[in-house]
Chain A
Amino acid sequence: QVNLLQSGAALVKPGASVKLSCKASGYTFTDYYIHWVKQSHGKSLEWIGYINPNSGYTNYNEKFKSKATLTVDKSTNTAYMELSRLTSEDSATYYCTRSRYGSYGTPFDYWGQGVMVTVSS
């Protein structure tokens, strides 16, 4: 069965960086893009960007271009998102999700369990 397993909660200091992981299983990793979505407490969802695990190609929401860096490790079927120069505005739950490669408009059909990032001194 498809599973996207995310790393545990993180408490980080302002100005620091954090690297989140999303390990995929139950499907062919390179057949699906991995997207990352931010949800601030009690708020809606914001799309951060996606990565093509096969080529490493990325596409970012302009709002997050200087904040997030997406990478993958095909050998371990794991996607990563590094968030840099953290501020309190980055405190949120971050989800990874997938959409099928090569088909237009395919939905985000499976989601990770989410990881809470808290930025505090």
Chain B
Amino acid sequence: DIVLTQAPLSVSVTPGESASISCRSSKSLLSSKGITSLYWYLQRPGKSPQLLIYQMSNLASGVPDRFSSSGSETDFTLKISKVETEDVGVYYCGHRLEYPYTFGAGTKLELK
């Protein structure tokens, strides 16, 4: 199975500042179709996960452009600029390259 390693496991950010979360894959997530199969989800406290980013760098519908993502075939970074109160929660990276689909352990974002 592909292992996704996130870092840090938790981050504390001052509102208005930026935050970055890393996700490293044990295998290249670049598919034969040229799509990088890396996704970012946010799970706010007590809520279901919601899609933020798909195919490494595409912003999901309704997600503010304060969120961005980039990377290579195995190393990825989610950046949140000007962090707001609503950004608090746990961020997960996940892949859909091959079965079984797996997720990272999650990164908890808190406000200072």
Q: Residues of B with Cβ closer than 8 Å to A?
A: 31, 33, 35, 37, 39, 41, 48-51, 54-55, 60-61, 92, 94, 96-97, 99-106
* Chain A, range 65-108, C-beta contacts under 8 Å to B: 95, 97, 99, 104-108
Known contacts A105-B35, A105-B96: does B50 contact A111 (CB below 8 Å)?
yes
Chain A residue total in the interface (Cβ 8 A): 23
Residue of B39, B48, B60, B105 near A95 (CB, 8 A) is B48
Residue among A97, A99, A107, A112 facing the most chain B CB atoms (10 A cut-off): A107
Asked if A63 is at the interface (CB within 8 A of a chain B CB), the reply is yes
Q: Is the CB of A95 within 8 A of B49?
A: yes
Q: What separation, in Å, do the CA atoms of A37 and B60 have in the docked complex?
A: 20
Q: Is the CB of A59 within 8 A of B31?
A: no
Q: What separation, in Å, do the CA atoms of A99 and B101 have in the docked complex?
A: 13
